[in-house]
Structure 1
Amino acid sequence: MNNKYKLLEEKYVEEVASLVKVYEHTKTRAQVLVLSNDDENKAFGIGFRTIPKDSTGVAHIVEHSVLSGSKKYTTREPFMDLIKSSMQTFLNAMTFSDKTIYPVSSRNEKDFYNLMDVYLDAVFYPRMYEKKEIFLQEGWHYEIDEETDELKYNGVVYNEMKGVYSDPQNIVSDIMTFNLHENSSYGIDSGGDPSVIPSLTYENFLDFHKKLYHPSNSYVYLYGNLDMDKALNYIDENYLSNFESEDVDSKIILNEPFKEQKIVHDTYSASESEMGENKDYLTYSWCLGKSTDKLDLFMRDFLSELLIDSESAPIKMALLKANLAEDIYAETSSSETLDLSIVAKNTEVSKIDEFKNIVESTLRDVISKGLNKDLLKATLNKFEFAFREGGGVQRSIIYYIRALNSWLYGENPIDALEANDMIKDLNSKIDSGFFEKYIEEKLLNNNYSLITAVKPELDKSKRQDEELKKKLQEYKNSLSSEEIENIKREQKELVAFQMTEDSPEDKKTIPSLELSDISETITHIPREEIDTDFSKIHLNEHDSISWIKVLLNEQFTNSISYVTILFDSSHLKSEELQNYSLLTDLIGKISTDKYSYEDLDNEIYKTMGGFTINPTSYSDYERSGMLYQYASLKFKVLDEKLGDALKLINEIVQNSNLTDKNRIKELLLIEKSDIESMILQNGHSIATETVKSYYSSQGAYNNTVNGLGIYFYLAELLDNFDERWEGFKSSIISIKEKIFNKHNLIINFTGSRETLNNNLDNFKTFVNNLNNEVYSEGLTSMHSNIKSQGFTTSANVQYVSKGYDLSKLGLEYNGSLSVLGNILSTDYLHNNIRAKGGAYGAGVKFTINSDILTYSYRDPNLKNTIEVYDNMDKFLEELNLSEDELKNYIIGTMNSFDPLLSPSAKGDLNLVRYISHLSEEKMSQFKNEALNTTLEQLKSYAPTIKKAMDENYLCVIGGEEVIKENSSLFNEIVNLKR
């Protein structure tokens, strides 16, 4: 590397299977971390320590804005251009409380260099200095509503954070963090508080970037099978060498540790229907130290699982047994300070003393009596397993974030990547009292702690909205006519900026691949159906035969076996489906004949790396309308423990005790809490799935067992649990016998052939223990009579979806539809719903099953968004693309046909293809259809898209006031919070 970089350390790190080198750039002192390995997925990242001084969200807004054009890449949004046109396997940016990072990855080296260069130019030379409109769009701006003449705020980050501040769990998390670190760098919201964001000026926004986005404050990362010297020289010659070293003041300010525990009371907003008993939160938080201490960093995460999150965690068990809350979970920080919090959700603030006493007495018991050794072994095994798996499909990005846990704070990044020796050392200390002493010092005797009590406040956000409206109206009244005209002019200029198409010259600045760089085939994933001596079972005296399928997906998995066992559930009646769904939430978390549920959880994680069971459905690609229904039991295990795992799973499926009323109610309350959290955090996905349930048999089935259908059923069941218990118990006992049946069984194995062969007898024993009774066919298809619904919450934003089955309009899926989805999502919908409308995101999916499903995310609008969907056909009719533009859109869809997958995900995909009769040849055909897409073909879809939108299948999850104002759009309005 000549004198461009100084090598600080070099070491092979087993946990990341890489030769790791730590450098400092000689001229600028930029920090550089390199992980060289044989991974075809190549990654780059650059990050900066970004410490805000207030809650204006400046770090977050800068993150959005730097990707909106740069010196070399002069389109309006190079980030979206890359999304639509590159073969990226990861492309994003993230703002944390003390850092902002810009990671990318691609399997194609040319594409990798394109992505890296766009990101480097973006962070160092953004166009936001010349284009104030970028700040106005991404941050905030004034708007005067054309219909009401009201003055209001709009902006992408502003609306995103309105959504964040609508979620009680996010609010509680902020209350904990800001009070634990008051008057410090962590006592403010780097994402932005919507009430404070509009105080950020354009000048302060630019100053923040000017000060902190400098190589001397940067953390550069490279990963994969790359010529690292070439990549490092490229970064130096094109970017770092253009700067001089500077002393950047990005110091993190920490508050003094508390001398005595602090107690804080606060509120979150709720509508009238969301008020009531058991709606409060109680939390107990500690700061354990700093993430620069390798042991403390590991132990903080370890204790969160050991004491709080696992099914046998002593604090969780004690609080649930006392009926103190409906759900208990841990929260941890991602900052220099190591925060650990216990959150009790759906409780009563009046129980604060009892909550505190139970937590502390449980800790005292743990210290005096000692931790359960099996719990310690099981928890250490979870962590060892996670490191052996290597972070999954996005491991390259996870390693970067993990390294920053020590690197950002001046310590060696390698420390945060290594864990094996520490886990080995901690295993040797299980009988030494080390863990108990650590808990005593870091938790029980730690005065740097906080208790918070947060309860709902009726219409708090509505009142705040009204106050804001009043404030804005008063401000508007204070303005001269000239000042009002200036706002309108700036608003029009912003819209013009947003809707002006990039010039051909600007478009040419965006680097791209050629179609010749793309393989016409998809990656072959080997799959083999294994013939075994237990694959045939006799049904009756007439010698009818049922087949058990055993599928091998041979992959290198680092000595881990991934197993999916599919139990046929097609014989269940429609009235059994919801209890069947709830049964799958219980199995593995309740006692069996041999184990209490606490011991079972320990046994599962001593033996395996994970165990789940879920209702699953597959549609048949070759036979329209054919639906296959299964209970999908999945587990992962070290190869040498596969036999033990199958014995334990046999105990679980055969001998689970479904008569423990209290434990079952505990688990159902937790499941309800989890769904409620998912609705607010993943509302766009739930909205699209709900739309699909209106017109699709599979959609209706999935909604019944996994969607809002199960949520409403569960809420009603829990409201009347004592009266319904006996019937529910009888039902789930009966369903368990029906489900764990050997007929039509499929075993999908991903791992080594040798391991499977060595365990065929173990699989045979497992199968032979299953129920052999034959059941008549149950449900064949499901249909919904509903066409459009509005689900009301106290949120300040909406999730809006429309959709339909294009095959019902005569259009079967073709690969070119994926290209169309790319164009509509990254151009038309992005420009109109996100850039112009201020939503955090929007898009449309065309599925292989011929669905069209639109969605918006954290969207301030409703009616306007629907109008945008309804005008997609007009956009298509007027669509005009050059050959180059079309080529880029085509390239941007290629990963959808041949995605980046972990070994276990390859096995999962093979299973879907096997059951759905979707061959690799068919997928290659779709890919070729996409590669050969023409403009005329895309335009020809306009009439069908119009017909689909005219069907008006609509689902909106959002604010009560907005949905009721637009009640004419819905067949039914339903209050979502129960």
Structure 2
Amino acid sequence: VTPLPELFLTAVKLNHDSTGAQYLHVAREDKNNLFSVQFRTTPMDSTGVPHILEHTVLCGSMKYPCRDPFFKMLNRSLATFMNAFTASDYTLYPFSTQNSKDFQNLLSVYLDAVFFPCLRELDFWQEGWRLEHENPTDPQSPLVFKGVVFNEMKGAFTDNERIFSQYLQNQLLPDHTYSVVSGGDPLSIPDLSWEQLKQFHATHYHPSNARFFTYGNLPLEQHLRQIHEEALSKFQRIESSTTVPAQKLWDIPREYHVTCGPDTFATDSTKQTTISVSFLLPDITDIFEAFTLNLLSSLLIGGPNSPFYKALIESGLGTDFSPEVGYNGYTREAYFSVGLQGIADKHMETVKNIITRTIDEVIEKGFEDNRVEALLHKIEIQMKHQSTSFGLALTSYIASCWNHEGDPTELLNLGKQVTQFRKCLKENPNFLQEKVKQYFKNNQHRLTLSMSPDEKYYEKQAQMETEKLKQKVDSLSMKDRQQIYEKGLELRTLQSKPQDASCLPALKVSDIERTISFTELDIALAADEIPVQYCAQPTNGVVYFRAFSSLNTLPEELRPYVPLFCSVLTNPHFEDEEHFKVLVKMTAQELSNGIPDSGHLYASIRASRTLTPAGDLQETFNGMDQVRLMKRIAETSDLKPILRKLPRIKKHLLNCDNMRCSVNAAPQQMSQAGKEIENFIKNLGRSKKERKSVRPHVIEDPTFKPCQMKTHFLLPFPVNYVGECVRTVPYTDPDYASLRILARLMTAKFLHTEIREKGGAYGGGAKLSSNGIFTFYSYRDPNSIETLQCFEKAVNWAKSGSFTLEDIDEAKLSVFSVADAPVAPSDKGMDQFLYGLSDEMKQAHREQLFAVSHEQLINVSNKYLGIGQSTRGLAILGPDNVNIDKDPSWVIR
């Protein structure tokens, strides 16, 4: 038992006598309780076996044999978090909830899922991979690869940063499990058999190879009793053979080159090469050494004053740091990587030389004391900051170290590590320089990895997939073909059958609190006119300040440049054109890199663009328009005209007349905070005009008229991201509650089955935003037009009312789990401050949610979602599509 007062927690470490299972409980006065169980999973090939297993164990178990209990529990619980993750060498299953009955329900489902899964062949087919006819009902249609993980990983490998990171780990740690792709390489996934999957479960998902973690204010004894009775008592200890051996150290450095797809949004097509130099570091279970090296990494690369930022980024040779930059402690031995992306081939040697030279300079000069202090101060502030997902952050933080037998309690003792670090620095002023010399200059285990685009990359990937498919199909007998056809029909029948989830535990709507607790807010005027919202909260001595500025006075032509203004605002070199060029390139590169991971958001933002003034502004700020604008700016040789726009934007944004402020702090800190705000306001500009009342919740544009628009962004990806948006009503409208329940109902009872299970997309569903945009979306989806047809079918399904009262109650539970998600002390009152949503409005909306009926759901489906009822927008990001190209109603970008 270890008390850690600076984190307000007590850690309890246990071992289970008969199985050897390890357990860590973190007792803390936090009602958002968390459970997780992790297994060390060490695959020796790239078939994605741990990843496919993670999906398949959640498809039904002995006690809960219904299909997909995991997704069904999303609607039968008030969970604040539910998911599962496959890392390089472990698989983690966490959930959190604020309700003790719900905790027991979810714990029961999770324990049964991981220890006693059904692992049915058809679930493996659906989630992993299968051969199936393009049209499952037509045995003459061609056979193709299908499967959720197969499509997920095809999508993942369109992300060039992901490709680079994957090869970096594979090549730097080539002797064991890190040499393979644990998530699965799309070309290797079809080599995995159902038998191999079951065998991997038997050897890895055993209590002797498990680590349990609980967090929060629920009693530990209750958890231990349930975990023992429902799972551990049914096992005996086995010798687990999952240990990852130490990587054999190299005598001489190595080099490796890989290719990737071209970047459609690259600012210069001749500068798309990435290069980095990576160094193997000690075992992550050496906790103080890991802390020191992590801190050293921040000093080397963090912020514009760091040595590598000055040497590499400001050289202008590239657009941004290479992927995986800095310290990585997710493998048994950590590593540090540094390099550049967006460079020309001819500059590779120059970059390597700069890295070597910078290391030498750091060894000679060391670091400024104030930068070291600032970093330690940041760690101390982070320890004081209270987040709502603290339990989830802890389980993620300790997972890797604990996975390799490191001491998780020691890892949590950050205060001790800071004290020890200060002591080492005091005793030896060259402490950090010596580390740089030891781990970087004199380290022979060093990998130089380069990556450049191949114009035919996606073509070659598709060709290899075609060859793999041909090889599989050619080896089939007539009997095999008949079986594939019959299994395809069987899977389709199973997916279409109404499912009985009555075996699963569930909360009831009656378990939900009828009223919310109100947050006390005070509004005062600073400098006589500026409204400030004060919210007294137990913030642990930290003050949280926010200022909100209305854009309503900003001229139209300056609006697209606001995100750029925000990204350079905290930089001291505001007028320095060379420095500005560097920041522009970095921003453009980051936006381009983000598309494969957030394609569904870009599609949804574009689809809502022509529906509301807010949607139009969101596309300008956060959509594909912004990506393209930043690409254009980054390609411009003379940036002076852009620089001249920034002071004009500043005049409107950093102007007290357009501003409101808020403070969340402890009661005794409020008067001091008020004085600081007065000073802040005095230092800002004011316009000569009389101050108008600011309504930042409203984007005013009386000329705006909603209209339909369909856009297809052609991207060289093998998967699609689809968005369809419908304009409905805002939060305060009585129909809003019904539409919110309807979005959840459609997702759980129709879209999940059609888009993910049958269609093979990684994700899809419907959601309603607070401004009343109803969005249908899909993510990493092998289909596009078919998915849009699916959205239409979902509306017809809703209009027909073929859902039960139990379905509605489940959807309500799911919506309340979001509405009642915990709010950190730093964020209390923010809905009022940012969106104008008072507690009274929220309570009224809550009552409307409780009252939503079967009839109301059919009514809103007819009233808003039927074709011709409301204005809608459509967008797809993805590859060529003959059907779209022929259709004149689509705009191709």
Percent sequence identity over matched residues? 26
**Partner residue of 1:650?**
none
> Do the aligned residues in 1 keep the contact of 2:884 with 2:890 (CA within 8 Å)?
no
> Do the aligned residues in 2 keep the contact of 1:152 with 1:469 (CA within 8 Å)?
no
Closer/same/farther in 2, CA of residues 422 and 783 from structure 1, 3 Å limit: farther
**Partner residue of 1:921?**
840
Between 19-28 and 710-719, the greater mean CA deviation after superposition: 710-719
| Alignment of 1:859 onto 2:781 | yes
Counterpart CA distance in 1 for 2:630 and 2:530 is 34
Please list the CA deviations of residues 363-406 of structure 1 after superposition, one character each: whole Å capped at 9, or x if unmatched. 1111101212222222222222223225x221101111222232
> Do the aligned residues in 1 keep the contact of 2:273 with 2:450 (CA within 8 Å)?
yes
Shift of 1:227: 1.4
Shift of 1:789: 0.9
Counterpart CA distance in 2 for 1:405 and 1:297 is 12
Closer/same/farther in 2, CA of residues 308 and 271 from structure 1, 3 Å limit: closer
1:405 to 400, 404, 414: 400
> Do the aligned residues in 1 keep the contact of 2:111 with 2:230 (CA within 8 Å)?
no
**Partner residue of 1:483?**
480
Counterpart CA distance in 1 for 2:606 and 2:884 is 21
**Partner residue of 1:29?**
20
Shift of 1:245: 1.1
Between 964-973 and 311-320, the greater mean CA deviation after superposition: 964-973
1:218 to 182, 205, 210: 210
**Partner residue of 1:81?**
72
Counterpart CA distance in 2 for 1:323 and 1:353 is 15
1:727 to 641, 653, 661: 641
Closer/same/farther in 2, CA of residues 303 and 499 from structure 1, 3 Å limit: farther
Task: Please provide the CA RMSD for this pair.
Answer: 2.3
SS across alignment from 1:231: helix
1:688 to 601, 604, 607: 604
Please list the CA deviations of residues 220-241 of structure 1 after superposition, one character each: whole Å capped at 9, or x if unmatched. 1111111111221121122111
Please list the CA deviations of residues 393-447 of structure 1 after superposition, one character each: whole Å capped at 9, or x if unmatched. 2110111122223221122210221111212332355561111111111122111
Please list the CA deviations of residues 519-563 of structure 1 after superposition, one character each: whole Å capped at 9, or x if unmatched. 01123222211245x2x2xxxxxxxxxx31011121111111111
Please list the CA deviations of residues 285-314 of structure 1 after superposition, one character each: whole Å capped at 9, or x if unmatched. 111111101023223332332212322221
TM-score for the superposition, normalised by structure 2 = 0.94
> Do the aligned residues in 2 keep the contact of 1:786 with 1:971 (CA within 8 Å)?
no
1:38 to 15, 29, 34: 29
| Alignment of 1:294 onto 2:256 | no
Shift of 1:54: 0.6
**Partner residue of 1:610?**
none
**Partner residue of 2:133?**
144
Between 215-224 and 783-792, the greater mean CA deviation after superposition: 783-792
> Do the aligned residues in 2 keep the contact of 1:550 with 1:749 (CA within 8 Å)?
yes
Shift of 1:11: 0.7
Shift of 1:248: 1.8
Shift of 1:761: 2.4
Closer/same/farther in 2, CA of residues 376 and 786 from structure 1, 3 Å limit: farther
> Do the aligned residues in 2 keep the contact of 1:288 with 1:339 (CA within 8 Å)?
yes
| Alignment of 1:529 onto 2:451 | no
* 1:572 maps to amino acid: L
Counterpart CA distance in 2 for 1:459 and 1:858 is 21
1:638-677 to 2 correspondences below 5 Å: 658-677=574-593
| Alignment of 1:376 onto 2:372 | yes
SS across alignment from 2:448: strand
| Alignment of 1:971 onto 2:863 | no
Counterpart CA distance in 2 for 1:811 and 1:514 is 26
Shift of 1:243: 0.9
Shift of 1:697: 0.4
How many equivalent pairs are there?
874
**Partner residue of 2:301?**
308
Please list the CA deviations of residues 70-111 of structure 1 after superposition, one character each: whole Å capped at 9, or x if unmatched. 111121011111112210011011111111111111000000
Please list the CA deviations of residues 252-281 of structure 1 after superposition, one character each: whole Å capped at 9, or x if unmatched. 144311211111111002278868211111
> Do the aligned residues in 1 keep the contact of 2:734 with 2:848 (CA within 8 Å)?
no
**Partner residue of 2:795?**
873
Counterpart CA distance in 2 for 1:172 and 1:970 is 39
TM-score for the superposition, normalised by structure 1 = 0.86
* 2:651 maps to amino acid: E
**Partner residue of 2:538?**
556
Counterpart CA distance in 2 for 1:784 and 1:671 is 31
Closer/same/farther in 2, CA of residues 881 and 871 from structure 1, 3 Å limit: closer
> Do the aligned residues in 2 keep the contact of 1:787 with 1:954 (CA within 8 Å)?
yes
* 1:364 maps to amino acid: D
**Partner residue of 2:652?**
738
Please list the CA deviations of residues 675-709 of structure 1 after superposition, one character each: whole Å capped at 9, or x if unmatched. 11222211112221221112110011122123222
SS across alignment from 1:947: coil
> Do the aligned residues in 2 keep the contact of 1:267 with 1:457 (CA within 8 Å)?
yes
Counterpart CA distance in 2 for 1:590 and 1:241 is 62
Please list the CA deviations of residues 143-186 of structure 1 after superposition, one character each: whole Å capped at 9, or x if unmatched. 22138822211111111100111110000101111000113111
Shift of 1:912: 2.0
> Do the aligned residues in 2 keep the contact of 1:60 with 1:190 (CA within 8 Å)?
yes
- Unaligned segments of structure 1, at least 5 residues: 1-9, 537-546, 592-657
* 1:235 maps to amino acid: I
Counterpart CA distance in 2 for 1:775 and 1:954 is 42
Counterpart CA distance in 1 for 2:390 and 2:438 is 34
Closer/same/farther in 2, CA of residues 233 and 467 from structure 1, 3 Å limit: closer
1:276-675 to 2 correspondences below 5 Å: 276-328=269-321, 330-331=325-326, 332-390=328-386, 392-430=387-425, 432-473=429-470, 475-477=472-474, 479-503=476-500, 507-532=501-526, 534=527, 536=528, 547-591=529-573, 658-675=574-591
Shift of 1:568: 3.2
Shift of 1:747: 1.1
Shift of 1:952: 5.0
* 1:894 maps to amino acid: F
Between 488-497 and 810-819, the greater mean CA deviation after superposition: 810-819
Between 102-111 and 888-897, the greater mean CA deviation after superposition: 888-897
> Do the aligned residues in 1 keep the contact of 2:652 with 2:658 (CA within 8 Å)?
no
**Partner residue of 1:641?**
none
* 1:368 maps to amino acid: E
Counterpart CA distance in 2 for 1:169 and 1:713 is 22
Counterpart CA distance in 1 for 2:544 and 2:830 is 9
**Partner residue of 2:116?**
125
* 1:867 maps to amino acid: Q
> Do the aligned residues in 2 keep the contact of 1:529 with 1:550 (CA within 8 Å)?
yes
**Partner residue of 2:43?**
52
> Do the aligned residues in 2 keep the contact of 1:16 with 1:399 (CA within 8 Å)?
no
| Alignment of 1:758 onto 2:672 | yes
Counterpart CA distance in 2 for 1:35 and 1:490 is 47
SS across alignment from 1:325: coil
SS across alignment from 2:865: helix
Counterpart CA distance in 2 for 1:950 and 1:767 is 44
Shift of 1:474: 5.6
* 1:122 maps to amino acid: A
**Partner residue of 2:621?**
705
* 2:284 maps to amino acid: S
| Alignment of 1:798 onto 2:720 | yes
* 2:172 maps to amino acid: L
| Alignment of 1:841 onto 2:763 | yes
**Partner residue of 2:630?**
714
Counterpart CA distance in 1 for 2:187 and 2:891 is 33
SS across alignment from 1:289: strand
- Unaligned segments of structure 2, at least 5 residues: none
Closer/same/farther in 2, CA of residues 921 and 263 from structure 1, 3 Å limit: same
Counterpart CA distance in 1 for 2:282 and 2:807 is 52
Counterpart CA distance in 1 for 2:103 and 2:388 is 17
Counterpart CA distance in 1 for 2:888 and 2:748 is 27
Counterpart CA distance in 2 for 1:969 and 1:73 is 50
Closer/same/farther in 2, CA of residues 333 and 79 from structure 1, 3 Å limit: same
SS across alignment from 2:505: coil
1:938 to 836, 847, 857: 857
> Do the aligned residues in 1 keep the contact of 2:311 with 2:358 (CA within 8 Å)?
yes
| Alignment of 1:262 onto 2:254 | yes
Shift of 1:966: 4.8
